[in-house]
């Protein structure tokens, strides 16, 4: 590592990189360092992808997108230095809570959509929106992370045509079919995420990758069983429109999602902080628990 950074611990290890929590010595602050696996440093295409992630983040400046601090190469190794988010991933939060109250879910999705709005206006598609790539700060700030599969719309796609990228359970049908990603692709993934955090389950996830892909391509979105009032009905309509199988019938752009969701978002940063300290059970989770307890299965 560079002398500017002091490694504290390994946070995670993935297929492409190791993630470290570190200290930026000069400023005495915590950062995240993403190091490309040494055995991949000789793969020109993977190095290009790693460098592209850094350059894409360098183009984006928004409170809901993880900030890049540095990118460098040393002794044949490649490093991306990112801001450290003191909190947990949305995946971890869902593992703890099961599902989230609707007002908290609306706020989280609106914040993610706001970050995506900046990315899309900058010509950047994320292409891998999922719970593990959303950070929930203890200060109530939501951050989109991991732009490793992001695509600059005016650029050349590194992924080979027909190669499926992204996490299967959140992939839109058109990407599974090998078609080019568009802003509507990110909207679909965000809609599936929205469905999951409200209901506590991914609507298409199967027992394996192939079953999941088959569900996405051939099954309809299961209905969202929320308390029937106008507010919940509107949210169900928004989620349904975000996740339509045919991209032409989805929301055309993320601006429209922000516009439709904003009137229904009553929670704020302070509400999220309170929820993180004293999680409450969502109405959907409570209803499912009641049905299982009484022997009524859904």
Outline where DSSP puts E strands in 146-194.
Answer: 151-152
- DSSP of 55-98, one letter per residue? HHHHH---TTBPPEEEEEEETTEEEEEEE--SEEEHHHHHHHHS
Q: What's phi and psi for 137, nearest 5 deg?
A: -75, 150
DSSP bridge partners of 152: 124
DSSP bridge partners of 88: 136
- DSSP of 94-145, one letter per residue? HHHHSS--HHHHHHHHHHHHHHHHHHHHTTEE----SGGGEEEETTS-EEE-
Q: Residues, the chain, total?
A: 298
Please identify which of the residues 2, 70, 86, 128 carries the catalytic annotation. Answer: 128
CA atoms within 13 A on the CB side of 248: 0
Q: Which residues contact 159 (CB under 8 A, 6 or more apart)?
A: 149, 165
Comparing C-alpha atoms, which of 285, 288, 292 is closest to residue 96? 285
Known catalytic residue: 128? yes
177, 212 contact by CB (below 8 A)? no
Dist CA 121 CA 162 (whole Å): 26
Angle 130-132-135 (CA atoms, 0-180°, nearest 5)?
105
Q: Which residues are catalytic, by number?
A: 128
């Amino acid at each position: 590592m560079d002398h500017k950074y002091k490694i504290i611990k390994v946070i995670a290890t993935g297929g492409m990189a190791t993630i470290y929590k570190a200290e930026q010595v000069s400023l005495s602050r915590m950062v995240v360092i993403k190091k490309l696996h040494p055995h991949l440093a000789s793969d020109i295409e993977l190095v290009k992808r790693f460098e592209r992630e850094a350059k894409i983040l360098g183009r984006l400046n928004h409170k809901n997108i993880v900030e890049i601090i540095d990118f460098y190469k040393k002794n044949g190794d490649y490093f991306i230095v990112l801001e450290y988010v003191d909190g947990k991933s949305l995946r971890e939060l869902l593992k703890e809570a099961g599902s989230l109250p609707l007002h908290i879910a609306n706020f989280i999705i609106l914040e993610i959509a706001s970050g995506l709005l900046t990315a899309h206006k900058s010509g950047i598609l994320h292409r891998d929106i999922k719970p593990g790539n959303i950070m929930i700060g203890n200060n109530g700030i939501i951050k989109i992370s991991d732009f490793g599969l992001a695509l600059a719309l005016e650029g050349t796609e590194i992924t080979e045509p027909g190669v499926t990228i992204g996490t299967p359970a959140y992939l839109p049908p058109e990407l599974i079919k090998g078609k080019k990603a568009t802003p509507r692709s990110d909207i679909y993934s965000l809609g599936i995420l929205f469905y999951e955090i409200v209901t506590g389950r991914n609507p298409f996830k199967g027992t394996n990758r192939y079953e999941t892909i088959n569900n996405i391509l051939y099954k309809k979105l299961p209905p969202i069983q929320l308390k029937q009032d106008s507010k919940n009905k509107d949210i169900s309509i928004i989620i349904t429109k975000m996740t339509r199988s045919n991209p032409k019938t989805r929301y055309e752009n993320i601006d429209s999602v922000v516009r439709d969701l904003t009137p229904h978002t009553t929670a704020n940063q302070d509400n999220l902080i309170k929820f993180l300290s004293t999680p409450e059970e969502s109405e959907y989770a409570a209803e499912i628990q009641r049905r299982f307890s009484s022997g009524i299965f859904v």
